[in-house]
Amino acid sequence: MKKHTTRNVILMAVLDVALGIVLSLYIASTGTVPAADNADTYADGAYSASAQGYESEVTVMINITGGKVTNVQIDAGDETPEVGGKAAESLARSLLDAGGTAGVDTVSGATMTSNAVLSAMDACLAQAVQE
């Protein structure tokens, strides 16, 4: 058993080194990290989109400056103030900090409002994507 463990550790180390070399050669030849090739760039401007929340349409308005999200406003005025309204405030901060919906979770107890906000934010960013 010990023989197999040692062999596996050596094999993993060799594979790690090989992958490191391949990635280094890729970066050296293209000048970019692979994930950066798929990153969206956003056109500066103001964008808005709406989606159905728990009780009403929820509207997200964003500003993009220098290709980054610089302002997020959410109009959830017709949602339940104590639940959807508070969720909108929290989500606006989270979306601004994240610059998008990646890594932003829904607010417990306000799932429908949260999903509407995230959907509308994605729609805003889709409008802003530069080809």
User: Alpha-carbon torsion 12, 18, 20, 26, what sign?
Assistant: negative
pLDDT recorded at residue 115: 95
Q: Is the pLDDT of residue 4 over 90?
A: no
What are 20-56's pLDDT values in tens digits? 787 677 666 665 555 444 456 899 999 999 999 999 9
Rounded distance between C-alpha atoms, residue 63 and residue 95, angstroms: 12
Tell which wins on pLDDT, 18 or 70. Answer: 70
Output the pLDDT for position 99.
Answer: 92
- State CA 122 to chain mean position distance: 9
Please tell me whether residue 110 adopts helix, strand or coil conformation.
coil
Is residue 100 scored above 80 in pLDDT? yes
Q: State the average pLDDT over residues 58-74.
A: 95
The answer on pLDDT for 11 being more than 90 is no
Tell me, what's the pLDDT at 30? 63
- Provide mean pLDDT across the span 93-121: 94
Residues 6+ apart with CB under 8 A from 51: 57, 58, 115, 116, 117, 119, 120, 123
Q: What pLDDT, on the 0 to 100 scale, is given for residue 28?
A: 67
